[in-house]
Amino acid sequence: MGEGTLPELRSQLLSRRTLLFGSAAGLAALGLAGCASDYMSLAEAEKVYGPVPNEKFPIPAVDVSKVDPKYFRKTVRYDSNEAPGTIIVDPSKYYVYRIEGEGSATRYGANVGRDGFRWSGEAYVGRKAEWPTWTPPKEMIARQPEAGKYARGMPGGLDNPLGARVLYLYQNGVYTLYTIYSTSAPETIGNGITSGCTGLLSQDMIDLYARTPVNTKVIVLPA
């Protein structure tokens, strides 16, 4: 594996994210609890987002109290002329859709690029990987010198910013430096925090990854 934009230096910034986003997400979850009949219940979410022990690096359960229920995985009505399997990223709403056909899609909550790092357009999945190595590009090291210690690559694992699964986005045979990746920071879902990549909860990313072959079309809508 090679270069990739840094979703965030997980081990160094997680506590800050929790401070910034955790309380707000928890309050949002409480506020919606009484009217979230259209969303997965917390009890259901605890099952869907439970531990995944049979992985190379066992994945812990998601603390679903840190996620607004509207970002839990859901099959929704979504009219589209795109072929089944197409992935549509809607950064303005913090959702990723997988077109299922017949007017429906699987919808996943996401984190997206922060202001100044968002992009839009068409791409495709040029390659995919499980538990990938992550190598920060030179531009990122210039912005965040602390990433320099990983200039030769950070091995796959729970602390790796790309997480358990990653889809690498290409245009015209060239890697765009953007990915759809796994995040283990639930408080980031529904927020713009990355350098342009799109993050899903690990359990959601495993689901999407398993159903997404190489060459799948990806559309990133304007924010």
CA distance 146 to 6: 12
Confidence band (pLDDT; 50, 70, 90) for 17?
Answer: very low
Work out whether the CA dihedral 67, 73, 76, 81 comes out positive or negative: positive
Helix, strand and coil in the chain, % to nearest 5: 30, 30, 40
What is the domain-level CATH number for residue 92? 2.40.440.10
Quick check: is 66 in a domain? yes
Domain contains 142: yes
Q: Confirm whether 100 is domain-assigned.
A: yes
Per residue in 48-58, is it b (16+ CB within 10 Å) or e — as a string?
A: ebeeeeeeeee
Tell which wins on pLDDT, 123 or 118. Answer: 123
Q: Kindly report the pTM of this predicted structure.
A: 0.82
pLDDT value at 3 more than 50? no
187 assigned to some structural domain = yes
The answer to whether residues 163 and 182 touch, using CB atoms and an 8 Å cutoff, is yes
189 in a domain, yes or no?
A: yes
At residue 218, does pLDDT exceed 90?
yes
Instruction: With beta carbons less than 8 A apart as the criterion, state whether 105 and 196 touch.
Output: no
At position 210, the amino acid (one-letter code) is A
| pLDDT tens digits, one per residue of 90-114 | 999 999 999 999 999 999 999 999 9
Residue 66 belongs to domain spanning: 10-220
**What is the pLDDT of the chain when averaged over all its residues?**
87
CA 47 to chain centre: 19
Q: Domain for residue 43, yes or no?
A: yes
* Within-domain flag for 5: no
The reported pLDDT for the residue numbered 136 is 84
Strand (E) or helix (H) holding 26: helix 23-32
Give the count of beta carbons closer than 10 Å to the beta carbon of residue 82: 15
Q: With contact defined as beta carbons under 8 Å apart, do 194 and 111 qualify?
A: yes
Per the structure, the count of domains in the chain is: 1
For residue 125, name the pLDDT band (cuts at 50, 70, 90): very high
Q: Is residue 160 part of a domain?
A: yes
pLDDT value at residue 147: 84
Amino acid at 155: P
pLDDT of 6: 52
